Structure 1
Amino acid sequence: MDKTIKILYTKYGEAFRYLVVGGLTTLINIVIFFSLTHIAIPWFWANVVAWFLSVLFAFIANKKVVFGSTDMAPSVVFKEGMSFFALRGASLLADTAILFVGLTLMHGSPIIVKIVDQVVVIGLNYVFSKHIFS
């Protein structure tokens, strides 16, 4: 069994690590979003702050844990960071559109809308991240 686990981890380890980091990133995003909306910050601004802080966490975790990027030269980290935030900016647009439709137009349950939103965003972000660190 130990050998089977090693084979599976070798084959799917990156995806597994991405799912763990993505789950933590999603948790950070949701907790910050609902904490801010709970203190009467409008959903749009709460989402922007939650996005920024969760993307900052995701950048560090994806660089180190998921994709094993070891080059810490300032120029490399800056380039990767700019690319990461720019591509995640594209997912912020999808994020905001889903929240707008779900919360404003459909008057959906905030927690359900935010969870659906995050599932879509995780998929987009995986595709974007592969192009930065690989």
Structure 2
Amino acid sequence: MDTRKPDIFDRLMHLPVLNIFEPFYKKHKEMLLYLFFGGLTFVISVITYAFFNVSLGMNELVANIFSWILAVLFAFFTNRIWVFDGKTNGAKEFFVQMMNFFGGRVATLVVEEVILFVFITKLGFGSMVVKIAAQIIVIVLNYVISKLWVFRK
């Protein structure tokens, strides 16, 4: 039985109309919240990439690193608090968890940078189309890394 204090999403499921979805939500909460916050992280990544690359004219690989920093900071805290309930005991455990999270995200950053380099820099595909496609691949990889390594229970 789940003894955790209900979070904001649990409380939303008690609202009229939404409460009909509560059994489905409870069964698939982690995945649903990952899709929600992963979607927000996706939006942050794509918008900040567009700002750096398209608006400021920054190189696609450099723009991607700046957008990655902002998206990963957002993702760490939302994944830790709501998606995987990654409570830690003390600063040392928190630091290890954060380093594992960022380490996993660095791995997928390398994957994304290779995709951008090959398809934008070398093959000349459209920057935003490639960025969006790369983000979809990265979201799936990030979930697997977070679930199996960073926030495993």
How would you bin the TM-score normalised by the shorter chain? Answer: over 0.9
Task: Give distance in 1, aligned partners of 2:77 and 2:135.
Answer: 19
For the pair 1:122 / 2:122, whether they are aligned, the reply is no
Choose from 21, 42, 63 the match for 2:37. 21
In our comparison, the structure showing a higher alpha carbon Rg is 2
1:132 alignment partner AA: V
Map Cα deviations across residues 19-56 of structure 1 (whole Å, 9 max, x no partner).
01101111111111111112122111111111111111
CA distance in 2, matches of 1:2, 1:24: 21
* Number of corresponding residues: 134
Q: Name the CA shift for 1:3/1:52 in 2 (closer, same or farther; >3 Å).
A: closer
Distance 2:123 2:91 in 1: 45
Structure 2 counterpart SS, 1:28: helix
Task: Report deviation, 1:4.
Answer: 5.7
In structure 2, how many angstroms separate the alpha carbons of the residues matched to 1:68 and 1:4?
24
Match of 1:8 in 2: 24
**CA–CA distance in structure 2, aligned partners of residues 68 and 114 of structure 1:** 29
TM-score (norm 1): 0.92
Which structure shows the higher helix fraction? 1
Show structure 1 runs of 4+ deviating over 6 A. Answer: none
In 2, the alpha carbon distance for the partners of 1:60 and 1:9 equals 21
Q: Which runs of 5+ in 2 are unaligned?
A: 1-16
- Which has the larger displacement, 2-11 or 81-90? 2-11
Aligned residue type for 1:58: A
Match of 1:133 in 2: 151
What's the secondary structure of 1:111's corresponding residue? Answer: helix
TM-score by length of 2: 0.82
Matches within 5 A, 1:1-134: 5-37=21-53, 38-71=55-88, 73-130=90-147, 131-134=149-152
Letter in 2 for 1:23: G
> Aligned-residue CA RMSD in angstroms?
1.6
* Percent identity of equivalent pairs: 35
